[in-house]
A and B are shown apart, each in its own frame.
Chain A
Amino acid sequence: MNEITATPAAAQPPAGCGARSLAIARTGARCFFVAPALALLAGCAGERTQSALHPAGPMAADIARVWWILFAVCTAVFVVVVLLMLLAVLRRGGHDRFRSPLGDKFIVVSGIIIPTFILAPLLFLSLGTTSNLRMPETSVTIEVVGYQWWWEVRYPDFGIVTANELHIPVGEPVRLEMTSADVVHSFWVPELGGKRDLNPGITTTFWIQADRPGVFRGQCAEYCGVQHAKMGFLVVALPVNDFATWVSERQEPHPEPVDERLLRGREAFFTGQCHACHAIRDTGATARVGPDLTHIGSRLSLGAATVPNNRGNLMGWIANPQPIKPGNLMPPTYLETDELHDLTDYLMSLQ
């Protein structure tokens, strides 16, 4: 029912069976886990929108590569050791009661020497991949501030403030400077890379890069209170030109509403006390308690990637967001029905 990612800009290649040979191979390997028939069913059941095994950026790709190496090594070790163990208990020895045919030498070789030779390369794999994933040269910097339970997204170079959505240019590494306004959160977009915590009082840096256009879902990975589960966000990767267009469109001042409804809606924004928590550029509303609504009309989702953004959902959210995202910090808004309609129209007009 939540089809946030199925927006026009987000034509994501399906990850089902038969899409690409690589995908088939990986689905197959995944199927090896459970009974193959079941996994085939599950692997093809539908599109997975947050899978670390479908990398869309260099960091995620590197990590996925590390995973397949680890998977191969560990599977081999597992199979060999379990076979040894079964052999140990099933083979009938008929040996001396108090002596095993295997002694300390066996233990030293198979328990110390061989593991060392397996583990040492893994350490180098860890070292190598980590240094490979150091922050590259970046052209775009985005500041991300975690709040209970949404994300403030700021583009200091462009003067854009938005929420729960990061627009990035395809193929370019983007620098993230992150902190938290309250408790610890963690930024995670599985298809683009690993995660990094947002710590109050500390600024952490991180980077993301998408190699293909699309909408990638992310969510908070560090438990942060009641609605940790619904603290999602979207990364919208746009071709470089589209990104430039997006930026310039966001920088345009909103045209002064001419429509009566929109003017009434803007009024309702203040009479309904929305401005106590939310900011809208150039209106005098500057509060930073809740998400900045300057571009709310163009956003793909509401409630931090909880429901798709459309007129019905927005109006429902304004009237009472609690049924949609129980425990979130926004109270119900008490407005007359037509005020609510006007307000919704006004907000939808804010591109």
Chain B
Amino acid sequence: MSCADTFANYALRAIGIGARLLPKSDITFCEQVVLIGSGMIWNIYYGILAIMTGFFFATALAVARGSERQILSKSAEWFIFIFRGSPLFIQFFFAYELFVLFPKLSIDIPLGFVTIAADTRWLTKAWFGALVVLFLNTSAYSAEIFHGALKAVPKGDLEAADAYGMSGFARFRRIIWPTLLRLAWPSYTNEAIFLFHATTLVFLSSFPAWRQKGDALYYANYLAEKTFNPFVSYPIVAGYFILLTLSIIMVFSLVNRRLNRHLEPGQRSKIKYRPQVILTR
């Protein structure tokens, strides 16, 4: 089988398109690269969706955490503590067992022109259940970063806003939020990188890889077991993740430049990729 055939068979294997059976014997280097690359689809899917949804929830959590209302700040604090204080791996196991216990319900969500039937059974499937866990997890980690940045917003900015007669949401949207993002962005970049890395845990926990549709590490593990040789498949995953990490840094640098566009090029703080605090879970 040529490498082009392999590509046709396995490039989209992780989402169920192409050959049904995984390679079993005489596994070629090309097969390893293509199959593991196909698994990266899941890592990217989890990473992008969790970051994009988690961003908004994290902002809300950070504001709640800084709220003067005890009930808001305490519940945000507990949420953050539970998700940051326990291992993500255990969270996956716990969430899966919890989701299995949910009654099998189907809820219709009318979206104007179409109606989506949301099903609680989705929660026990990796594509949705693991995404929910990752969303909650990254929200907690990001909220802690945003909360730190919120406290660091200069008092003078707030006073100036008050003097201009801004209050409530307008003050938040136009003064606090941009500064908060500017301050938090280097740490948030770091958080995004480690969230993408954490997506490799999904199929190693109890979420089942249905019909052997798994992520990059799932396939790398499978191939290392089949070939008894870890020196090929694991370096391939490592290579893919280095490329992914570099792309995340590139995208986040572009956003950083936009956030700091009012500053002289020399004044712009370059994103520091080596902060003191490391956010693996």
Partners in one complex: no
